[in-house]
Chains A and B, each alone.
Chain A
Amino acid sequence: EAQVTQNPRYLITVTGKKLTVTCSQNMNHEYMSWYRQDPGLGLRQIYYSMNVEVTDKGDVPEGYKVSRKEKRNFPLILESPSPNQTSLYFCASNRDGRGGYTFGSGTRLTVV
């Protein structure tokens, strides 16, 4: 089954404790991106990647890092999480940035 797999589904952490949210797709898609969803703001792009070793900032990149060492994986790294990063996070992929998007099932992150 073609899918984007995100883990974990829920995460509660403390301020300053580094964490990684994993994202993996099995469709050989070149384009992957991360979004955060906040009430009243919709979804906003954090980072995106057009291919292996090619990443760039989206609209709200502050406090986040990403890497793309393999085509299938695109982890989101929060090196020092803060409470304002409490949000619902989605990973999405598509073939080349032009086609339809496949979303992961979301990660609910709470930073206390």
Chain B
Amino acid sequence: AQTVTQSQPEMSVQEAETVTLSCTYDTSENNYYLFWYKQPPSRQMILVIRQEAYKQQNATENRFSVNFQKAAKSFSLKISDSQLGDTAMYFCAFRVGSWAGGTSYGKLTFGQGTILTVHP
């Protein structure tokens, strides 16, 4: 079974500064995907960034980038030039990359979430 841990229940940052959210995971799989989702007060789940485990290069989407350390099973999210609209709950999530059977197929395993507040 896979587990995902986000050890920071809450974080805060000043507008225009940089913040890093931590995520660690545990799995025996070699082929998998990692995601960061944003959940603003509207409750909508919004995909921020995605990383394939077989890719060594860290994924980047505009102001959002990840630091993927496969050996350490770490997947942190860096938000640069923070904006007020970045205020939200952020979830780290894991999915196996191939069907190993059972209940793992297609399932996203989520961390506990980190509430990020951006202050003006």
Interface residues of A (CB under 8 A from B): 31, 33, 35, 40-45, 48, 50, 56-59, 88, 90, 92, 94, 97-98, 100-101, 103, 105-106, 108
Which residues from chain A contact B91 at a C-beta distance below 8 Å?
Answer: 42-43
Show 21 A/B contacts (Cβ-Cβ < 8 Å), sorted by A: A40-B112, A42-B91, A42-B111, A42-B113, A43-B93, A43-B108, A44-B110, A45-B103, A45-B108, A48-B103, A50-B105, A58-B107, A59-B103, A94-B106, A97-B106, A100-B47, A103-B45, A105-B43, A105-B44, A106-B44, A106-B45
Interface residues of B (CB under 8 A from A): 4, 6, 9, 42-45, 47, 50, 91, 93, 97, 99, 103, 105-108, 110-113
Question: Cα distance A42–B90 when bound, in Å?
Answer: 10
A-B pair count, CB < 8 Å, reads 58
Question: Cα distance A27–B107 when bound, in Å?
Answer: 19
Q: Which residue of B lies closest to A58 (CB)?
A: B103
Expressed in whole angstroms, the minimum distance between the Cβ of B32 and any Cβ of chain A is: 11
**In the complex with contacts A42-B112, A100-B47, A57-B103 CB distance below 8 A:** yes
Which residues from chain B contact A105 at a C-beta distance below 8 Å?
Answer: 42-44
Tell me the interface secondary structure of chain A in the complex: strand
Question: Cα distance A58–B109 when bound, in Å?
Answer: 11
Q: Which residue of B lies closest to A90 (CB)?
A: B45
Question: Cα distance A45–B108 when bound, in Å?
Answer: 8
Contact B108 A101 (CB under 8 A): yes
Contact A31 B106 (CB under 8 A): yes
Which residues from chain A contact B42 at a C-beta distance below 8 Å?
Answer: 105
